[in-house]
Structure 1
Amino acid sequence: MPDPAVSATSSRLRKRAFAAGGLVAVVGAGLALGEFGNSRGAAPPAAPAPVPVVTAQVERRDVPHWQDTIGTVTALNRATLRTQVDGVLTDVLFHEGQSVQRGQLLARIDDRAIRAGLDGAQARRARDAAQLSAAQSDLTRFRQLSGGQLIARQMLDQQASSVQQLQATAQDNQATIDAARVQLSYTRIVSPIAGRVGLRRVDPGNVVRTGDADGLVTVEQVDPISVVFALTQDQLPGLRRAQAGGAVQVQALDRDAGRLLAEGELRVIDNRIDETTGTVRLRAVFANAGDTLWPGQLVSVRVRTGADEDALTVASEALQRGVDGSFVYKVGADATVAAVPVKVGYQDSTLAVIVAAANALKPGDTVVRDGQSRLKPGTVVAAARPATAATSTAATAATATVMR
């Protein structure tokens, strides 16, 4: 027979197991009901936050066309002063770097030998002039006597020949004197142009010779001054058209800071295109009273080749390149963006001229200028206050984007 104690123990265990199972079932049901209730009452997922961007407005304005290149400042005229006679440099009458005028005396060479030669030539001229005067008087008397047949015709002819010889000698004397005076003038070295002298290459007391390659000093005309630069042959037709319409404006700018140094005009287009580089050289002339341009200086050059009047423009940064060409992101009234294909005409670092645009892009529309990398059509954006298309680079850097 079964043990009564064992039976009682088994009965208690079965009751406890049933109670524990019921408790687990109740808890499980409660959890399931709780999850079901939460799934029916949960809030929808949050919408993506607007993408922060910087915007610009589409505008109509007159847009000048500029071609950018690099140029070299050169003197409009340059002269190297060399001696034309051999001698000792006795005087230097200028300071290095000094501004000089045309005809100003800059140096002198010892002229004593040349002056002595001139004095001798003048003395010979005086002697021969006296002989010529006496011979002419004799010829006059011989002609009178010949009329009365008091002297032979041969004597008259000989005297006339003597007079002609003395006249030729007088002309030779005068030529010698003129040559000596020219040589004497070479001992005074004057500036042939107005400009600025450079570094002196010979000191007083040195012997200078006509064969010296370096010369005494150089003088460069710096006001006005010129800039020589090159443009590609493809730009030549537009440049010629601009030149036919009047003076072509040229700007010279500092290469580092982009600061405007001077404004001038195109003066010369070279008469041939360089076959090696496919470029043509040009010269522009600038007023330079303040010495802002210096010979040999490298400058950035901007040449105005035309203009678009009342053109539809956007900031150059707003342009994007796609598979089908250029486009801009236009911001709608609901702050969503749409990709608008555009055809670009003239473009520089600041502005782009739109010559054709789908969806009727018009003045006053807002386009995205910065932050396009995170955009696609339909994206909601949070934009800074619209800026004009002509906003400078400095202003662009200072513009604050709206963050989340």
Structure 2
Amino acid sequence: MRTQKKTVVIAAFLIVLVALGAWYLGKPSAARVTTQAAIPVRVVNVVEKDVPRYVSGIGSVLSLHSVVVRPQIDGILTRILVKEGQLVSKGDLLATIDDRSIRASLDQARAQLGESQAQLQVAQVNLKRYKLLSVDDGVSKQTYDQQQALVNQLKATAQGNQASIDAAQVQLSYTQIRSPVSGRVGIRTVDEGNFLRMTDTQGLFTVTQIDPIAVEFSLPQQMLPTLQGLINDPQHAKVKAYIGADTDGETGNLLGEGHLTLIDNQINANTGTIRAKAEFNNPGQKLWPGLLVTVKIQTALDKDALVVPPTVVQRGLDQHFVYRVNGNKVETVPVQMVHQSSGQSIIKGVKPGDVLVSDGQSRLKPGATVQVLTDPPQVVKSESAP
């Protein structure tokens, strides 16, 4: 009896299992298929515009003319006529040295010249008389020749006296120290009343030209052909100088804009770099000698370039590609990388206005369904200087 009950229970359980299996297998297949979720992505439009190309490097500001003002004679510094930091022009009087002894020497030389000229005048009169007398043998030929020699001697003496005057005048000019260049006066190292010597190496102060001014910088040796082409361009390559900028010149304050003027005559074999120099107008004196700056040179201009952010372009096994949004799906498009920088990439293979994926590519494959996130549109960073 107990065995029969157990058999009935087992049979009922089997019947229930069979019924559940039949129901599951017989339900509509649409109910069993799960819908594939859309992949969220961010997108950007391809922009067409003219894009200048730049090369950047680190440079230092140099004065075109910097002079240490030193005395050219020994003497007491009597007056300093300029202040530290004052702007002066070429030829301006900067300081004076005691000139009393030089003036006395000049007066003495002038007196000696006057004496020699008077003696020469008398000798010339006698020479003229002796010449007339020698015709009738009034004087001997020897006397006439001696008088001629005396005249020549007195002429040489007068010339020597004149040379002494000229030398004294030069020495006197050294007592007035004038600016050899236009520029800014530096910190004074000597005060009035000190005795100056020509052997003093420190000098009184420096005069440094500020406007115009130069920037010297170094670039990789591979840039030599480009620099040669730029410096031969009659329009001159534009060079911009920044402070507080990285080597891409993307940030920082613009200090000035100049032009390329010089390429060094040799490459540094130790560093593999070539030095170059650019000249800047500096009316605002933003560029200061010794200042380290980032220089940025425009090397080319791409007309009607197709520009996207660097995150758009992906690298495959054989070539670069991008994901282009078509409806709610994506497709891969092979592209050619023309130029790349930290702020933007120039590519070929797409059209202006195409919608490309800029973020979320790691989960994508051709034909995948995407959901475009409604974030503010990305802005392609321009390579042009601010």
TM, length-normalised to structure 2: 0.86
1:362 match: 351
Partners of 1:226 and 1:283 within 8 A in 2: yes
Segments of 5+ residues of structure 2 without an aligned counterpart are 246-250
Structure 1 residue 250 displacement after superposition: 1.0
* Cα deviation code 1:343-399 (max 9, x no counterpart): 2122222232224x3xxx211111222343444444433334684763469xxxxxx
Q: What per-residue deviation string (whole Å, max 9, x for no partner) do you get for residues 148-183 of structure 1? A: 321112111111111111100111111111111111
**Structure 1 CA distance, aligned partners of 2:379 and 2:333?**
17
In the alignment, structure 1 residue 166 sits paired with structure 2 residue 160: no
Quote how far apart the aligned CAs of 1:277 are: 2.2
State the match for 2:225 in structure 1: 237
Picking from 64, 67, 75, the partner of 1:79 is: 67
- Shift of the 362–182 alpha-carbon distance from structure 1 to 2, 3 Å rule, reads same
SS in 2 for 1:114: helix
Matched position secondary structure for 1:83 = coil
How far apart in 2 are the matches of 1:290 and 1:284? 17
CA distance in 2, matches of 1:34, 1:321: 52
Equivalent pairs: percent with the same residue?
45
**How far apart, in 1, do the equivalents of 2:232 and 2:277 lie?**
16
Q: Are the equivalent residues in 1 in contact too, given 2:266–2:274 (CA < 8 A)?
A: yes
Distance 1:205 1:367, change over 3 A: same
Matches within 5 A, 1:383-398: 383=372, 384=374, 387=377, 390-391=380-381
- For residue 279 of structure 1, the aligned residue among 264, 269, 273 is 273
What is the identity, as a one-letter code, of the residue corresponding to 2:347? I
In the alignment, which residue of structure 2 is the partner of 1:106? 94
Q: Which amino acid counterpart does residue 349 of structure 1 have in structure 2?
A: S
- What amino acid maps onto 1:340 in structure 2? V
2:225 aligns to what SS in structure 1? helix
| RMSD of Structure 2 on Structure 1 (CA) | 2.9
Distance, in Å, in 1 between the alignment partners of 2:361 and 2:289 is: 45
Residue pair 1:66, 1:306 contacting (<8 A) in 2 also = yes
Paired position in structure 2 for 1:296? 290
Task: Describe the superposition over 1:208-254 as per-residue Cα deviations: whole angstroms up to 9, x where unpaired.
Answer: 22222222211111111111112222112123223333311111112
Distance 1:22 1:278, change over 3 A: same
Counterpart position of 1:213 = 201
Separation in structure 2 between the aligned mates of residue 97 and residue 37 of structure 1, nearest angstrom? 99
Residue 346 (structure 1) aligns with: 339
- 1:270-298 Cα distance to aligned partner (Å, 9 max, x none): 22222222222111111111111111111
The structure with more radius of gyration: 1
In 2: Cα distance, 1:150 partner to 1:385 partner: 124
One-letter code of the match for 2:40?
V
Counterpart Cα distance in 2 of 1:263 and 1:287? 8
CA 1:322–1:204: 2 relative to 1, 3 Å: farther
* 1:255 maps to 2:249: no
Structure 1 runs not aligned, ≥5 long = 1-10, 394-404
Normalised TM-score (structure 1): 0.82
Equivalent residue of 1:323, what SS? coil
CA deviations on 1:117-136 (whole Å, 9 max, x unpaired) are: 11211111111111111211
Aligned to 2:248: none
Determine helix, strand or coil for the equivalent of 1:170: helix
Q: Which residue of 1 aligns with 2:320?
A: 326
Q: Which amino acid aligns with 2:309?
A: A
The amino acid of 2:215's aligned partner reads V
Distance (whole Å) between structure 1 residues aligned to residue 126 and residue 308 of structure 2: 101
Per the alignment, residue 85 of structure 2 pairs with 97
Q: CA deviation at 1:34?
A: 7.3
Q: Distance in 1 between matches of 2:80 and 2:22?
A: 108
- Corresponding residue SS for 1:295: coil
The more displaced of 96-105 and 264-273 is 264-273
- Inter-partner Cα distance in structure 2 for 1:202 and 1:34: 110
Is the 1:56–1:386 Cα contact (8 Å) retained in structure 2?
A: no
Pair 376,206 (structure 1): closer, same or farther in 2 beyond 3 Å: farther
Q: In structure 1, what is the Cα distance between the partners aligned to 2:143 and 2:155?
A: 19
Give, in whole Å, the separation in 2 of the partners of 1:38 and 1:98: 98
Task: Give, in angstroms, the shift of residue 28 of structure 1.
Answer: 9.7
